[in-house]
């Protein structure tokens, strides 16, 4: 079914507004789509490193405390795994490319 002239005009207006919206463009860019998952993975890795230190300390205190820290570590690993799957291979390449672009821009500013 073909669109009427009025519907086509409205569609062109919507497309034009979306092209001019910077915030929307960043949100749907390849780097923007994976930004949230990448951030969660980074924080989960930091939490995992901290929990390893907490595990060593907890082993000196009580084995139940160590077990609780171990359960937290398993939860962090599950978060990392789930978000890494969400990002996928293409997402990792997009995020890496965005990071390289930002680094190149920063080095150009200081040169």
What residue numbers bound the domain in which 105 lies? 34-110
Is residue 12 situated within a structural domain? no
31 versus 42: the higher-pLDDT residue is 42
Residue 109 vs residue 16, higher pLDDT:
16
- The more confident residue out of 24 and 86 is 86
For residue 9, being part of any structural domain is answered with: no
Query: How many residues does this entry show for the chain?
Result: 111
Share of residues in the chain with pLDDT > 70 (%): 84
Residue 4 lies inside a defined structural domain of this protein: no
In a domain, 22, yes or no: no
Would you say residue 29 lies in a domain? no
Q: How many domains does the chain have?
A: 1
d(CA 49, CA 46): 5
Residue 85 lies in a domain: yes
For the segment 31-40, the average pLDDT, to the nearest whole number, is 75
Whether residue 51 lies inside any domain: the answer is: yes
Going by pLDDT thresholds of 50, 70 and 90, the confidence category of residue 18 is confident
pLDDT tens digits for range 48-101: 999 999 999 999 999 999 999 999 999 999 999 998 887 776 667 776 777 787
Residue 39 covered by a domain: yes
pLDDT at 26 over 70: no
**What pLDDT is recorded for position 48?**
96
Burial 23-60 (b: 16+ CB within 10 A, else e): eeeeeeeebebbbebbebbeebeebbeebeebbeebee
Which pLDDT belongs to residue 38?
81
Cα torsion at 8, 10, 14, 16 (round to 10°)? 70
pLDDT above 90: percentage of residues in the chain: 35
Per DSSP, the three-state class of 21 is coil
């Amino acid at each position: 079914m073909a669109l009427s002239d009025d519907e086509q005009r409205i569609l062109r207006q919507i497309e034009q507004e979306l092209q001019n919206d910077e915030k929307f463009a960043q949100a749907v860019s390849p780097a923007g789509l994976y930004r949230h998952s990448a951030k969660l993975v980074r924080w989960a890795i930091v939490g995992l490193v901290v929990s390893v230190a907490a595990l060593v300390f907890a082993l000196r205190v009580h084995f139940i405390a160590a077990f609780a820290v171990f359960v937290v570590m398993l939860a962090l690993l599950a978060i990392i795994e789930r978000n890494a799957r969400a990002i996928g291979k293409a997402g990792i390449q997009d995020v890496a490319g965005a990071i390289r672009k930002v680094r190149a821009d920063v080095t150009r500013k200081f040169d």
